[in-house]
Structure 1
Amino acid sequence: MAGKLISEMGLPTSIANIFAARNILTAKDALLLNEFELMELLDVDLDAVKSSIAQISASVCPPYQTALQLMQERVDKEYLGGHFPTTLKGLDKALFGGIPFGALTELVGPAGIGKTQFCLKLSLLAALPTSCGGLNGHVIYVDTESKFSSRRLIEIGESCYPQIFHVKGMAKEYFSLQVGLWFCNQQHFLNSPRGCSKLSSLYCRTNDHERHVKAPRRDALGWHVSFLKSLAELSRVPIVVTNQVRALSTNHALSYSFQADRKSELARNRDISESHLIPALGMHWAHAVNVRLVLEAHSGQRFIKLAKSPISPPLSFPFIITSAGISLLNDDGMEVSGTEINSILNEGGVIVSAGEE
């Protein structure tokens, strides 16, 4: 805006001609000078200078908005600040409506815990018509591990929405238009920033990494996580990503002096030490996500834990996986506190910390 021409700002012709004659052509040229310098250069009175500067400033400065006006605008346009219900009532209540729009939501947990099942259910719900509780939206599902199963997606649909999926040809016709797939391997995704421009729709499931992720690969994710977060915020769409877990050595995990007692305990118990797990993509990624859902297993039961949210308390919900996808066993949720919030539990009673890397 600083380069906008003064001749295009609607000043009186006589004043605009004087600016042009003195080689003051843009808003920047005029606003870098004080009123007295302009009076001297233009040879006009102070009132004329003040009037001209006010008009130039109004032309190049965007109108301001107060925080109250921004909040009211968000309320008036509910879809810009809404939530996408997951149909898991307890989780939706804890998230004040579901997966938030304009934010990056992460699913983290060990392989086979149910992350793919959760993503398939979300893809299904996003593409369903609003009359069935969906968003009637479009989905981009980025699969770097070839785990997407259209057969499983239809199985979930048939169990949850028979009125749509039991009509011959309806599911195939509908979802061929609504769900877009992008299959690529991890290395191609990491080395292809241009590929991220394809993520301009509703969901993204990306980078469900193997257990051992090297530092250079994590560093390569910096551009991608920034892009995804900007895409969510600017387009006001919910984006969901997944994250694996990996083992962390005792020396790396407990490197502070106040952790000496815990370090000695792990050294004595090799089973716990060798099973110490953290999210695979590291702390840079962890700080970038807005909401973190941890899927874990302990005491013979699977749990989905709301570990990070700007508005919600940490809660844990037991769940099972059925033909209809993920289903909660308890909508009330169990409160978690202290180290339990950032821990990841795996079958066998192993406590793993997500916040000590």
Structure 2
Amino acid sequence: TKISGFPSSPPVAGVLPAAEMANKLVSDMCLPPHLAHLLAARRLTTAKDVLSLPEVELMSLLDAGLATARDAVCRVSEFACPPCQTALALLEERVRLGGGGRLATTLCGLDEALGGGIPLGKLTEVVGPSGIGKTQFCLKLALLATLPECYGGLNGRVVYIDTESKFSSRRMIEIGQKSFPQIFRQEGLAQKMAGRILVMRPASLSDFTKRYIFPTLNQWIVEG
């Protein structure tokens, strides 16, 4: 991510959200006293204040030369942005911190490739050509999420946003009967699991926010 507003400044790579980097306070950056006082006097209090200004405007505002303006940009960039990291370093950090658990898909090859299943607490995108089985896979994941923990599930609830009207209760039951016959033979358990899946079919984004987010989804979460 390049946060500097100057084309001549070197890019600074990082992994923090842009808003978090931009809102870092200049007063917390341990800048040289003369530079800190100069920026404070001009009410440049955050990294965004300094780095979003054109070079000429910053020179004029600081009443300083090009060297001083560029020095301010470089120093603020160093404090505002995290250091460069390799992909290996990011992977090692993720392993060290732990992934927060995974939901096994019961597909051995896929679970092995994913390191145990779908990671929890993260956004996972399933991509593939038409007819490859993405919808069937999502139906199975919905069942797995509502499955009792003693059977390897999460015993949770699911919000299924169906923008293509492809959700099929009948197909989901068929998948459940084939994948988890011991569960679907228990009277009432399949109905209980199905009751934990909220299916939404919004016609548009505005329809989704107006009709479902407020108040349907909020009420469903509270009641749950």
| Structure number having the greater strand percentage | 1
Larger RCO (CA under 8 A, 6+ residues apart)? 1
Give the alignment's TM-score, normalised by structure 2.
0.49
| Structure number having the greater helix percentage | 2
- For the pair shown, which has the larger CA radius of gyration, 1 or 2? 1
